[in-house]
Structure formats: structure tokens, C-alpha cells
Amino acid sequence: MSVPVQQELDAIVGEGLPTLSHRSQLPYVNACLLEVMRIRPLLPVALPHATTQDVKVCGYNIPKDTQVLVNLHSIHKDPAYWPDPDGFDPGRFLDAEGNVINKPESFLPFSAGRRVCPGEQLAGMELFLFFSTLLQSFTFSPPEGAPAPLSDGVFGLTLTSPPFELCAIPR
């Protein structure tokens, strides 16, 4: 994953550091960020919502004012929406010409509806700058002989990765 990201950064940004003005010119970088957020949403379960009327879902009656928790992690791993859901594939967010596609309906890393994260735009900008600057400056890899950290993480209020080792090699 890091090689195509670094190639795109080198071609567009060159020797300098990425800025927000580069964001629209770096579709693969953006697709990688979207795929990371799909695989590892910060919050595995969205903030509670409530039904505004009686509703029937999959044969179940859900009364008005029932609290509903949306399992974002499960939505992002549903093979009905995401072929090979456990695989890391930034290409699922790119069209045939290599442009970033509109976010699919089943992509909800910042929740949905009135309870969508108000910081989504700011977080997107910060994640872009952080991710692109790190990959512009370093190549990351596990230490020789160490397994890649591919677990589902530790579920709680947030979804966290277990500790793992990583080498940051200056470029």
C-alpha cells in the first residue's frame, strides 16, 4: 500500500510536504484513507439514535422512541456491500479512471443522520495531512520476522489495535 501512495505523493507533491491544496490531486491517497476508515472506524458503534415512529424491520416490530445502536464495524465488513471485506483494497473507492468515487451508502465512519460527527470535515483534513506527511517522509514496515498486525482490534467505546511494532525508515 505504501509504494503506490508514495509514488503518487512524489509525482504530485515532489520534495515538499503535502498541503490541503494537494488533496484533490491525490486520489489514491484519499482512497487509502477511506479504506482505513472502513476497516477501522474509530467508533465501532454509532451514538444512539431513536425511532420516530413504530417501524417494522426484517419482520421485527420496533416501537416509537426505541433506542437504536448502529454497528458501524459490521456494516463496513458486510460482504453484501464490500467484496472481500477483510482485505485492504483502496481501489473500491476509485472509479475506472482512478478518481475517488462518492462515498457509498454503506460507508459510515462518522455515523449518519442528525448524529453524524460534526467534525467530519476537519477530521478528513487532519487525517489527510497526517497520513500524507508521514508517508511522504517515511516508509513503514514491521520489523524483520514480525507478523503483520491484522487483528480485528479490541472492542470497547472505541476500536483500538493491540500493541505492535513498526519500523519508520526515513525516505
pLDDT single digits (tens) 1-34: 789 999 999 999 999 999 999 999 999 999 999 9
pTM of the model: 0.88
SS3 call for 91: helix
Work out how many domains the chain is built from and give that number.
1
Annotation: binding site for heme: 117
DSSP 147: P
Contact predicate 66/50, CB 8 Å? yes
Contact predicate 36/140, CB 8 Å? no
pLDDT one-digit tens code per residue, 143-152 = 998 877 766 6
Annotation: binding site: 117
Quote the domain boundaries for residue 38: 1-170
CA distance 46 to 112: 8
Report the CATH number that the domain containing residue 89 is assigned in CATH.
1.10.630.10
CB atoms closer than 10 angstroms to residue 164: 13
Contact predicate 136/19, CB 8 Å? no
pLDDT value at residue 150:
63
